[in-house]
Amino acid sequence: MFDNLSEKLDKALHVLKGHGQITEINVAETTKEVRRALLDADVNFKIAKEFTNRVKEKALGQDVLTTLQPGQLMVKIVKDELTQLMGGETEGINLSGTPSIILMSGLQGSGKTTFSGKLANYLNTKKGKKPLLVACDVYRPAAIDQLHVVGDQIGIEVYSDRENNDPVAIAQAGVAHAKANGHNVVIIDTAGRLAVDEKMMTEISNIRDAIKPQETLFVVDAMTGQDAVNTAKAFNDVLNFDGVILTKLDGDTRGGAAISIKSVVDKPIKFIGTGEKMEAIDVFHPSRMADRILGMGDVISLVERAQEQFDEEEARKIQKKIAKNKFGFDDFLNQIQQIKKMGNIKDLMGMIPGAGKALKGLDIDDDAFKHIEAIIHSMTPDERSTPSKLNASRKKRIAKGSGRTIQEVNQLLKQFDQMSKMMKMMQGGGGKKMMQMMGGMKGMKP
């Protein structure tokens, strides 16, 4: 996500890094490269020009020209302007109604039905709501079936009426069903549009007028770039929607839609889709996204994801096991599962400041832990709880059972042993011991 843009902005700003003073020529050269980077990311030319003009105006202020580290201040100016361009403040979702009605709109193939499920799952698991999904796409083959499959996957009820071809009547019946059955959120999945079609736009306008939703959200595929912004403008002229959902931000997207959509339609981006799993949904934070675009990472989001998976009781049990030297492969497997629940591995690594540049060109498989899990699952329960029992013949059996080599089994055992020792060291007055150990290794006093 945004890899090419991040790299080009870094090169543009590199001109100023390390310089004790900035000249007007340097500023002009840098802003020109920034504008070029934005245009390459498929940002609208007018928006890119206005953005760099604002950056140049602020950069030519006396504070920047006389500062000791002008390069850093220039990065801050670009970051602040990027944040404002993408919306400035984080916008939440309006759940004021009883029930709260959310109308989903967008083109076909934008990921609208899947995102309806993700949003329902998010509101259920994170906000404690009881959502109802309503299938109003009566045109696309298997659209109703798709929503039912998504609903079954996340344990959310889906309302549909296969005998009715009137989306307005289905939406109204869905809201009535929600009221009668205690659902406090209704998510209406409407038919996608192949293009901005007058008949279809009239239909969705009629649905909106009939159910009066608290939120009308426009779902857009981030990979379509500038075209997504133009489509959003056409929909907004008719629907006057409340917010934008950007899907497929984990794909090979240039980022133009995320950067320029707010300034074109003057509506905030509320959520982003970051993967195929139902949990791959994030609230859109403009300042955090600006940090990531500039290669500064997103530590806050990383910590939030970790906290969601953190189980205090489980952590206490693990601490006791480490203290008694009983930390086994079953516990290690549980830790891996918690990391996997946090999301796409490459996406998580990208949240670490500076890691994006280090990971450039590396193909990190989302199933990076698969071979480790295969080796562990090929062990007996006794071997998992007592790894010291693993002799040569057992290792050979595990390697055959997991489809890996004996060398890979030995490597995992070695890494597990090192990790167990380090965890115990950190727990038992460990910081000092670790410093002593490191000091001994380097021939230094701790």
* Residue ranges at the known binding site: 106-113, 189-193, 247-250
- Identity of the amino acid at 358: A
The Cα–Cα gap between 169 and 207 comes to 8
CA dihedral 366, 368, 372, 375 (to 10 degrees): 70
Token pair belonging to 420? 């167990």
Closest CA to 340 of 315, 308, 317, 292: 308
The partner residues of 106 in beta bridges, in order of sequence, read 219
* Residue ranges at the known binding site for GTP: 106-113, 189-193, 247-250
Task: Give the Å distances, CA to CA, from 51 to 57, 60, 73.
Answer: 10, 14, 17
The Cα–Cα gap between 19 and 382 comes to 62
100 phi and psi angles, rounded to 5 deg: -80, 130
DSSP collapsed to 3 states, the chain: CCHHHHHHHHHHHHCCCCCCCCCHHHHHHHHHHHHHHHHHCCCCHHHHHHHHHHHHHHHCCHHHHHCCCHHHHHHHHHHHHHHHHCCCCCCCCCCCCCCEEEEEEEECCCCHHHHHHHHHHHHHHCCCCCEEEEEECCCCCCHHHHHHHHHHHHCCCEECCCCCCCHHHHHHHHHHHHHHCCCCEEEEEECCECCCCHHHHHHHHHHHHHHCCCEEEEEEEHHHCHHHHHHHHHHHHHHCCCEEEEECCCCCCCCHHHHHHHHHHCCCEEEEECCCCCCCEEECCHHHHHHHHCCCCCHHHHHHHHHHHCCHHHHHHHHHHHHCCCCCHHHHHHHHHHHHHCCCHHHHHHCCCCHHHHCCCCCCCCCCCHHHHHHHHCCCHHHHHCHHHCCHHHHHHHHHHHCCCHHHHHHHHHHHHHHHHHHHHHHCCHHHHHHHHHHHHHCCCC
